[in-house]
Structure 1
Amino acid sequence: MRALIQQMYTHPSYNRVLVWTKLISITGSSQLLIQALGLIGGILVIRLLPTQQYGLYTLANAMLGTMIVLADGGISSSVLAQGGKVWQSREKLGSVLATGFNLRKKFAVASLFIALPILLYLLRHHNAGWLTSILIIGALIPAFFTSLSGTLLTVGPSLHQTIAPLQKVQVGVSIGRLLMLLLTLFVFPWAYIAILSASLPQVIGNIRLRKLSAEYADWSQKPDPAIQKEILSIVKRILPGSIYYCLSGQITIWLISIFGSTAAVAQIGALGRLSMMLGLFSAVYTTLIVPRFARLANNKKTLLKKFIQIQLGLSGLFISIVLIVSIFPAQLLWVLGKNYAGLEHELVLSVTGSCISLFAGLLFTISTSRNWAINPLVSIPLTLAAIICGAMLINISTLAGVLKFNLFVSSIEVVIYLVYCISKINKV
């Protein structure tokens, strides 16, 4: 019996399970804390900001997400893919990251020039004064640059699976955000204060991330023209889709902001806050699953097996989440406060749409981690066709209609990326 137990402990499968259990427990517990802190902060913002201010806050955050996607343009995915080839060399990984940062700065400036005038128009459209609009835009700029830097700074630790220190930094940033919101919003319940309070702790987090990343990447390296060419070859394929995603990824916000009231914008933003816990699974996925999938050898059988396992796991998870929300919608809405009561049906639609949209986003992430970038001449016409069909079939002048529209379009995107990923694996 003792010999049998000893054999079990020394079996490779046992060690593999033990390693994965440890990684998932560390990442899962850290991300659970991070998402819980984020959810508390989000609820605090919803309850303390007046409806008008929260509507403006929702518009600004939607534009921030758009700016980040536009400024990235596929750079972070390509840097991860290039880094996955040289992750064991500190000098080569440093060169990849230096090249990525150099490109990111140029893209960021272009993103600001495009997005900020549009945000200014939308804020004025929803009756924000000139001073309020300028303050919101001013608060958004540091949030934009710190978020961009943070994504690239995690590449080295992620490839080396240095999970615990990485999670400590992220937990520290989340605690800092919540403390800043608690210290400011009770006295200054304004949208730009909420944005600025949430972004300042990321500055300290980025300093810690750079020190952590320096263990695996030599930051004294200069941008490499050959690596830049490799990154740009992927960016050229991803960027058109990223530009399109700037419009379609936040399409519910844009439709409501154009056709609806500021209160409707606030409602859709508040409902989206309850989907924040999905970030827990997204973070675990991008921290543990994507880097490991990026490092897999070009073996068709292995890639297909791992890909199917990942998608089945995600499907089961999202179905469970939607079922729970369908059973307890009123209880979940109570968290948001009385201003958002009676939106049970809309809540279920919002969470379902968020799950499907995240599914599509994770499929896109895992494909680009292998340098698989779907041709935008294929993806954009297909999703545009879905948008046109959805607009013709669904009444998008109501909150429920916009949420149904988002659900329809996201489902089409999931099908597109599933078919694309499987076809790429079959060609290996």
Structure 2
Amino acid sequence: MSVFRITKFLPPKAVTNKFAATWLKSIFKVLGSQVLLQIIGFGTSILLVREMPKTDYAIYTVLFSIQAMLNILSDSGIMIGFNAIGGKVWQNKTEFASLLKTVAYIRNRATIIAFVFTSIYGASVLMRQGATPLQTTLFILSLLLIVFPEVYKSFIQQALLIRKEIGNVQIASILYQGSRLFLIIAAFILFDSGLTIYLVLGVTVLSVWLSALFILDKSKHIRVQAAEVDLNYKSTLFRYLKLNWHNALFFSFQGQISIFLLGLLGTTSNLAEIGALSRFSIVYTVLLALVSNIIGPGFGRCQEKANMVSIYALVLMSICAFTGLTLLLAHLFPFAFLWVLGEQYQHLSHELFLILVGSSISLAASAIFNLNSYKGWIAFTPVWEIPVNLISLTVGALLFDLSTLTGVISLSIIGASTNLVLYLTNSVVGFKQAGAIVNNQGI
């Protein structure tokens, strides 16, 4: 446990001198585009919250919760294996191309299987909310056109990040968010019907494909056509898949349990409200983007224990400072936050604070999971993630009224807290097993 003493949380002077310039250069390279991305994304979200009818926004919330489930299920531990292997072979063009081919082979099949099951779940929730069979079919087909290019794009972007090719990844994200906002504003101005769910889905499909085609064009140099599926990589990736698929299945459901419970037990208004309040979690995405785009890949390449401890500690301290300030502002000035959402949501000050608490804990858990995944640190996850989460959900179900917005958000806080503790435990074991290696490629 000496690794986690407070005095060791601060970077050693030698580490600081060696990495400070590189860290700052990398961070500022991505920070500007991330700030722009979050401004665009937040603007788009608020426009949809304020201008879409509540019934349409409830459907929108359900559909994009299904997309979030698919993102998790299409991974199912595959990307943990990819990150662990890619951090070692990223400089070898032939080996890296073979790894990409192998991951694409496995992940495409995982996505198809996941889509079948999530479509059944999504259709049941949508029809319970009043959607007709024809509408439900159209919504699911639209989701299909969004998910498949998005899943493949995210995988290729991860490969570029491992190779420290950050620029095109940022451009692709800006292209998606920017084109989506532009088309939504254009539709809002041109069509008298306003922002309906059909217009928003159509715009999203166009924007996803535009950014996916861009990233495919910019990644030609790493996607060697002659590359073959490598049996050793395939075996390793399947090992990660077998270890994690059941956890991914459970986690995908747990992550969207608020939508699921309100879809079954709550009202359409509740669904719209939790979707609207969740927009504020976007304030944390800049920090998470830095972890995902800069710190995570660098942590994966780093092989010296002292440097890894310093990186990890800086991430934790930054998250605590940022989330603490956000929660303080939300507690003191809830009316300022809710004003942004419009008159329909002004009564949700208590729920606002709760959802930011949950988002803060989820940010910490996601960041730590990201760092762990680049090292393959999942010691307790395969065995314990489902049991401890089932216990936490059972306790939450006994304590809270799950037909209310407050009860469902409180349940999600318990679930996020459980995952945070589990991922921290994985990190402790990972650091204990990590040896100090002099030959450090670093960030």
Q: Does TM-score exceed 0.5, indicating one fold?
A: yes
Q: Which residue identity lines up with residue 317 of structure 2 in the other structure? A: L
CA distance in 1, matches of 2:225, 2:370: 26
Show the 5 A alignment for 1:193-342: 193-297=199-303, 299-342=304-347
Same amino acid, percent of matched pairs: 25
Residue deviations 1:136-195, cap 9 Å, x none?
112111111121011111133212222233212221221111112122345253223313
Kindly indicate whether residue 68 of structure 2 is the aligned counterpart of residue 68 of structure 1: no
CA distance in 2, matches of 1:125, 1:97: 40
Show the 5 A alignment for 1:115-194: 115-186=118-189, 187=191, 188=193, 189-194=195-200
Kindly indicate whether residue 416 of structure 2 is the aligned counterpart of residue 410 of structure 1: yes
Query: Could you list the runs of 5+ residues in structure 2 that have no partner in the other structure?
Result: 1-13, 435-443
Contact 1:55 1:262 in 2 (8 A): yes
CA distance in 1, matches of 2:373, 2:213: 27
CA gap of 1:41–1:207, structure 2 versus 1, over 3 A, is same
TM-score when scaled to structure 1? 0.93
Contact 2:72 2:248 in 1 (8 A): yes
Match of 1:400 among 386, 406, 411: 406
CA distance in 2, matches of 1:385, 1:154: 36
Q: Which residue identity lines up with residue 155 of structure 1 in the other structure? A: Q
> What CA RMSD, in Å, does the superposition of the two structures yield over aligned residues?
1.8
DSSP 3-state at the match of 1:369: helix
TM-score when scaled to structure 2? 0.90
Query: Could you list the runs of 5+ residues in structure 1 that have no partner in the other structure?
Result: 1-10
Does 211-220 or 368-377 show the bigger shift? 211-220
Show the 5 A alignment for 1:15-164: 16-164=19-167
Give the drift of 1:396. 2.2
Give the drift of 1:342. 1.3
DSSP 3-state at the match of 1:277: helix
Q: Which residue identity lines up with residue 67 of structure 2 in the other structure? A: L
CA distance in 1, matches of 2:433, 2:92: 29
CA distance in 2, matches of 1:73, 1:292: 23
CA distance in 2, matches of 1:239, 1:173: 29
Give the drift of 1:64. 1.1
Give the drift of 1:217. 4.7
Q: Which residue identity lines up with residue 83 of structure 2 in the other structure? A: L
CA distance in 1, matches of 2:173, 2:67: 19
CA distance in 1, matches of 2:131, 2:316: 43
CA distance in 1, matches of 2:225, 2:353: 46
CA gap of 1:12–1:293, structure 2 versus 1, over 3 A, is closer
CA gap of 1:125–1:19, structure 2 versus 1, over 3 A, is same
Give the drift of 1:21. 2.0
Does 309-318 or 220-229 show the bigger shift? 309-318
CA distance in 1, matches of 2:370, 2:363: 10
Give the drift of 1:219. 4.2
Does 285-294 or 210-219 show the bigger shift? 210-219
Aligned residue pairs, count: 417
